[in-house]
Amino acid sequence: MKQIDCRGLSCPHPVLLTKKALEESGNEPLKILLDSTNALQNVKRFASSQNHQMDLTEKDGVFELIIKPGRENETRSDKTGSYVVLITSEVLGGGDENLGTILIKSFLNTLWQNNNLPTKILFLNSGVKLACEGSNVLDTLNLLKEAGVSIVSCGTCLAYYELTDKLNIGYTGNMYEIVESLLEATKVIKI
């Protein structure tokens, strides 16, 4: 069984190394070593999105994730008609900041009331602040999440703004996952 040591690696390297190793391993199981819960969650989400089975053990702060490849033709559901919303700022528009705060809240409320919900909302840059403690849109984001919309915040952005421990809704994603989501969507709405 091939082993990949991802300890000490920053996002998105553990996911990229796992993806490459899985492509090279065929149907052979793969052992991934990780020392970060964020990296572990990112790798698990990636493996799950590919229909791979996983076994996890933890010892002395090191996670050992065994990934057993699934079948290629079972990896993805049909994404026809799916769209994602990319939010890169905590305000909407480039004018007055107070107005921008009102507009982003209005946008998310209107989006929730729409019959055609996105598959994901991706938060980058200062947009991650909207998914953190103290945000005035948490109730609406929670309604969207309960309706099946994935709420993903960039881990690097959360760390930059020192908000990693303040994420209140959704989960921390990495750039690989964000780029894959953008590429797979039939439409991207950037706010």
Cα(86)–Cα(182) distance, integer angstroms: 9
11 is catalytic: yes
Residue 29 tokens, joined = 């199981």
Q: Which of 11, 132, 154, 157 is catalytic?
A: 11
Q: What one-character DSSP code corresponds to residue 164?
A: G
Secondary structure of residue 171 in the 3-state scheme: strand
Residues 6+ apart with CB under 8 A from 147: 112, 117
The sign of the CA dihedral 148, 82, 79, 185 is: negative
Indicate the helix (H) or strand (E) that contains 189: strand 187-190
Secondary structure of residue 75 in the 3-state scheme: coil
In DSSP terms, 8 is beta-bridged to none
Residue 126 tokens, joined = 């200062």
**Residues classed as catalytic:** 11
